[in-house]
Amino acid sequence: MPAAVSTVLDHNHPLVSGVTAESPLVRAYQGVRQKRTPVWFMRQAGRSLPEYRDLRVGVRMLDACLDPELSSEITLQPVRRHGVDAGIFFSDIVVPLKLAGVDVEIIAGKGPVFAHPIRTMEDVLSLPDLDPAALDPVREGVAHTVAELGATPLIGFAGAPFTLAAYLVEGGPSKDHIRARTLMRSQPETWTALMGWTAHITGKFLSAQVEAGASAAQLFDSWAGSLSRADYVRYVAPASVRAFDAVRNTPYTVGGETRHVPLIHFGLVGPQLLPEFRTLGTERRFVDAVGVDYRTPLDEAAAQLGSDVTLQGNIDPALLAAPWDRLADDTHEVLRRGRSARSHVANLGHGVPPETDPTVLTRLVELIHSIDVDTLTHASPQSSSTQKAAAP
């Protein structure tokens, strides 16, 4: 198995230089509660933005991800338009697989499709390693984006080892991941080898983004919700630990205080798996923040996860197309429930739907920034209507 990846920040990194070290988002992830809740949106780059669609005319998805100028511009578009508190680097979860040499293409309306699914130990052993030089377009895109963002932090991201492995085994998108779960249970040695490979690739991908200037890193485990708790802990969590280890405990110093690059873990998982997203099967908190999907109220999540982790989320994306009053009420309620955690970063409980009106997202950011969360500490669900009257 390849050696573990390690990440080192140089003196120009925005956390080391202090450019983003005290930003509301970074400090919220590190457990410092903010008077004004920081906010960003998953899938905020692209999809719903007309300027994104204009850029993508005649450009394939993976080509856009691997063009440093394009990936940077697409990352910056929602920051300019919406005034969010962070950029999330524009990429795709299969990009590190593509860079390693796996034959994958993203088909419009379908998603990633693999020419050769991985189903045997021989298939796993044939998987190539990821040459560090292949990550140069990612590093360049991140560096250019960070230079443009200034004091606004950039979040790096990667698909979690299980989600990558599930795609590789299924050969494309799947609703139930039957083939992947069958391989997991019937060929555990093959599965462990595959997860070791995806963990290593994910770690390299995350590390490249953080070294190039990302101020936080999020691991997306899109498909972990298909697993039982026992299967997640036994067959999946160790690989996610290894992926996170590539950037976990990456230190920097601010005013004599040693801090670490914040790590966020998100997946579409119910309450049965949520605590494992904090510990990854270990006996301790393993990440700084846990993203909560739209199905679990934040105060219930806080009760499960404890007082030592920041929560991220969890406005229902479906409400972006609802009447404004309904969205505003729900937003107040999410922020109110977020007071139960040590700190809170507002977000959606999943990604921005492509048909979303961008002006709604801009208005939502303005609303979130206008709310003094201290006034919501003891609010009842109904009292959000009084706050809503002052909304933009």
Give the mean pLDDT of the chain. 93
Rounded Cα gap, residues 370 and 389, in angstroms: 12
C-alpha 153 chain-centroid distance: 14
DSSP state letters, 273-309: THHHHHHTTSSS---SEEE--TTS-HHHHHHHH-TTS
Residue 157 pLDDT exceeds 50: yes
- Decide: helix, strand or coil at residue 205: helix
Question: Which residues are part of the catalytic machinery?
Answer: 43, 47, 56, 92, 167
Residue in 244, 286, 256 with CA at minimum distance from that of residue 21? 256
pLDDT digits (tens, 9 = 90+) for 10-51: 999 999 999 999 999 999 999 999 989 999 999 998 889 999
Position 118 pLDDT exceeds 70? yes
Strand partners, 260: 251
Residue 255 falls in which region: left (phi positive, over 0), alpha (psi -120 to 50) or beta = left
pLDDT of residue 297 exceeding 70, the answer is: yes
pLDDT at 35: 87
State the amino acid at position 342 in one-letter form. Answer: R
DSSP letter string, 82-126: H--S-EE----TTHHHHHHT--EEEETTTEEEESS---SHHHHHT
CB atoms within 10 A of CB 135: 22
State the pLDDT at residue 253: 95
Residue 1: its pLDDT value, please?
Answer: 55
pLDDT digits (tens, 9 = 90+) for 164-212: 999 999 998 888 899 999 999 999 999 999 999 999 999 999 999 999 9
The share of the chain scoring above pLDDT 90, in percent, equals 87
**Structural domains in the chain plus CATH codes:** 24-388 (3.20.20.210)
Closest C-alpha among 204, 186, 203, 184 to residue 194: 184
> Is a pLDDT exceeding 70 seen at residue 384?
no
3 confidence band (pLDDT: 50, 70, 90): low
Q: What percent of the chain has pLDDT over 70?
A: 95
Helix, strand or coil, per DSSP, at residue 360: helix
pTM here? 0.93
| R_g of the chain computed on alpha carbons | 20
DSSP annotation string for 112-168? EEESS---SHHHHHTPPP--GGGGHHHHHHHHHHHHHHTTS-EEEEEE-HHHHHHHH
CB–CB of 312/289 below 8 Å? yes
In degrees and rounded to multiples of 5, residue 293 shows phi and psi of -75, 175
pLDDT band at residue 391 under the 50/70/90 scheme: very low
Question: What residues form DSSP beta bridges with 330?
Answer: none
Report the pLDDT value the prediction gives residue 377, as an integer from 0 to 100.
Answer: 62
The DSSP secondary-structure symbol of 227 reads S
Q: What span, in angstroms and rounded, lies between the C-alpha atoms of 159 and 265? A: 10
